[in-house]
Structure 1
Amino acid sequence: MRAIGGLWRWRHNPLRRTSDLVEAWLALVALLLILVVAPVIGSLVGGIAQDALQQSVRDQHASRHLVTATVVRKLDRSPLDTDPETSTSRDLRSRVVADWTAPDGTGHHGTALAGLKSPHHGDHFKIWTDAHGSIVAQPLDPATATTHAVLAGFGAAMLTAGAVEGGRRLILWRMVRRRYARWDQAWDRAGPDWGRTGTGS
């Protein structure tokens, strides 16, 4: 991006090459694209993601129901939990056998995760189910959906900026290679006797 400052210096400089101006203009265009186009693309992607995620939130809240389950008995700790000293969010939930009634009125009996530290027979806890009583994950909340949409928009803007900068560097690399090739051709035309008397130099 230092080449942008060269636009003004190169305007009337007798040492200016066409490639110097092209390089400076290329840097300026890339900067404008990063400052203008990347945020616009990020905003569009974020808006699309927000609409889709909020629709998903509405769909999940419409199809998932919070019901009350009753503990029948507590199950032993999962064999995968080898370290009882590990403090995780699972430590706040216990695997239990429970009974619950689905939104359609049918009774269900099965294994569930209870948000109880020490569940006992007859304790009540909340679980999310579908309309037929099958246990499902908690629906996405609007704040989390918005966070995901913002991250998607930011990621899209960063990818756009990276693509623009990568394109600028690729074009610049090709220009430098072409410049070196022209120098090699000029050197070959000068021949091995350049600078000697009678060569015309």
Structure 2
Amino acid sequence: MRTASGVWRWRHNPLRRGTDLAEAWVALAALVMIVLAGPLVGWFCGAFVDRALGDVARVQHLHRHPTTATVIRALPTRSAVPNPDGIADAIPRGRAAAHWTGVDGSRHTGALSTVKRHDSPGNRLRIWTDDHGEIVTRPMTPSTARAHAVLAGFGAAAATAGVIVAGRRLVVWRLVRRRYVQIDRDWAEAGPDWGRTGTGS
């Protein structure tokens, strides 16, 4: 509202300069673009990411399968690296050799990262494998994909607003420079006669 009133106030002000009116219009245009373009870009970006990640999640659920691995023996672990606060991990981690059967019937043996208390021989661990029985991460859930899409939408809207604000600042900076150039030019013309009698000052 202040921007719109500023444009209206400068329309017939006898003291206004061309750059003043241009600056007010630039501010109004930037405000309108932020209100309209920011949410629109955010919505389109969020919808695109939602579709893309939704497709990824569906493919992962088709080709990633839960299975059970049986621990054979515990494996030595490297010494834990403390976090920057110097506090040890609340859940001790370990490694274990285990065997499992893939969805295609193939048998596999390998090292798994486990919670320390689950690395005893005979313990059964839930893991995810691909179509060939190789270990993969858990497939993405639809809620996770949607959360990423929402964050991407907000990020795109914020980035759009930032670009618009930066563009407005650049235009205003150019207008201020032009204003100073005009002041210097006018002063160069009027300065030598400033205060003299009969010069119209």
- Structure 2 counterpart of 1:86, one-letter code: A
CA RMSD of aligned residues (A): 2.1
Structure 2 unpaired stretches of 5+: none
* In structure 2, distance between residues paired with 1:82 and 1:159: 37
Q: Which runs of 4+ in 1 moved over 3 A?
A: 1-4, 198-201
Is 1:78 equivalent to 2:78 in the alignment?
A: yes
Equivalence for 2:36: 36
In the TM superposition, what is the alpha-carbon distance from 1:115 to its structure 2 partner?
Answer: 5.1
Identity within the alignment, %: 50
CA offsets per residue over residues 138-189 of structure 1, 9 Å max, x none? Answer: 1111111111111111010001001101111110110010010011011111
Contact 1:116 1:125 in 2 (8 A): no
Contact 1:97 1:112 in 2 (8 A): yes
Equivalence for 1:175: 175
CA offsets per residue over residues 68-105 of structure 1, 9 Å max, x none? Answer: 111101112323x145x71245x3x5311001011111
- Give TM-score scaled by structure 2 length: 0.90
* In structure 1, distance between residues paired with 2:3 and 2:32: 14
* In structure 2, distance between residues paired with 1:94 and 1:65: 23
* In structure 2, distance between residues paired with 1:173 and 1:82: 51
Is 1:16 equivalent to 2:11 in the alignment?
A: no
- Structure 1 counterpart of 2:77, one-letter code: R
Contact 2:95 2:119 in 1 (8 A): no
Equivalence for 1:188: 188
CA offsets per residue over residues 44-70 of structure 1, 9 Å max, x none? Answer: 000000000010001111111111111
In the TM superposition, what is the alpha-carbon distance from 1:26 to its structure 2 partner?
Answer: 1.0
Q: Would the alpha carbon gap of residues 110 and 4 (structure 1) be closer, same or farther in structure 2, given more than 3 Å must change?
A: same
* In structure 2, distance between residues paired with 1:184 and 1:198: 23
Equivalence for 1:128: 128
Aligned residue pairs: how many?
198
Q: Residues 42-57 of structure 1: matches in 2 within 5 Å? A: 42-57=42-57
Contact 1:98 1:111 in 2 (8 A): yes
- Secondary structure at the counterpart of residue 71 of structure 1: strand
